[in-house]
Structure 1
Amino acid sequence: MSIEKHTGLKRLVFSIKNSWAGVTDAFKTEDAFRHIFIFSSLLLLISLTLNISKTQHILLILCSFLLVVIELLNTAIETVVDRISYEIHPLSKRAKDMAGAAQLIAIVATLLIWLVVVF
């Protein structure tokens, strides 16, 4: 089976289409992604109402995007592990736990940054 390779602008459009499909699929099928997405969107909106420096705005906005990005990566890792096997295996658990740990650390970092900036 041969896979058609796109180049130039066609490749960019194809890549954006596939990336957007990933976001919409995660939103439709993953509760954790929906929660993080909604929470991050609320943080983003709240940050725009704060009377803070541009640097602080950028920091809060980056935190919001970081949470979403890490949740997408966490979901991707869990999906790949589940694709390989639903069997409980120490390496599968390790991969899923580490992906979840990355999300936990991002959430804690976001909370700490928000506390420092707002208070």
Structure 2
Amino acid sequence: MESAVKSDPVSPVFEKKYSPKGLQRLTRATTNSIQGWQQIWRDEAAFRQEVGLGVIFMVPAVTLPLHRYESLALLVSWLLVLIVEALNSAIEAAIDRIGYEHHELSGKAKDIGSLAVLMALVVAGLTWGLVVAPALLHMLD
């Protein structure tokens, strides 16, 4: 019995006829990234809230007497939250593209994406607590 699926793993629909190189590739990638930023900013309230909170919380990172590595840790932990939120939004968009009807695997993908955001927030919270709290206590002494 012969399979109805072609032996070629790449469907002609997905073949690239032209793949840009060098500066043109970089330009297209940058354009795509800007579009991604615009879309997530427009469509995702959680992302906007995380950006806003990050901007507010960055004040201690630049005003407290912290070592540059401590300030970097604060910034990186905040960026981690934004990165994971962007990936979670991409997962949700792909799932929604498939369909809005309930499916166990769609729910699982969205729940795990949400868990990843929560874990990134916990990492950021721990980082901020371990860096900022001692600096504030030292200032009060």
Residue type at the aligned position of 1:100: S
Q: 4+ residue stretches of structure 1 with deviation over 3 A?
A: 1-4
Question: Which moves more between the two structures, 29-38 or 98-107?
Answer: 29-38
CA contact (8 A) 1:27 1:33 kept: yes
Where structure 1 has 5 or more consecutive residues not aligned to the other structure, the ranges are none
Q: Which residue of 2 aligns with 1:43?
A: 57
Normalising by structure 1, report the TM-score. 0.93
1:72 correspondence with 2:82 = no
What is the CA–CA distance in structure 1 between the aligned matches of 2:20 and 2:103, rounded to whole Å? 38
What is the percentage of aligned positions where both structures have the same residue? 34
1:13 to 27, 46, 59: 27
Spell out, residue by residue over 1:36-58, the C-alpha distance to the aligned partner (whole angstroms, 9 max, x if none): 12112222343111211111111
Shift in Å at residue 3 of structure 1?
Answer: 5.2
CA contact (8 A) 2:81 2:120 kept: yes
Spell out, residue by residue over 1:69-89, the C-alpha distance to the aligned partner (whole angstroms, 9 max, x if none): 111001000000010111111
Q: Which residue of 2 aligns with 1:61?
A: 75
1:114 to 112, 122, 128: 128
CA contact (8 A) 2:60 2:132 kept: no
Tell me: CA distance 1:3–1:87, structure 2 relative to 1, closer, same or farther (3 Å).
Answer: farther
RMSD: 1.4
CA contact (8 A) 1:77 1:96 kept: yes
Tell me: CA distance 1:45–1:11, structure 2 relative to 1, closer, same or farther (3 Å).
Answer: farther
Q: Which has the higher helix share?
A: 1
Tell me: CA distance 1:47–1:81, structure 2 relative to 1, closer, same or farther (3 Å).
Answer: same
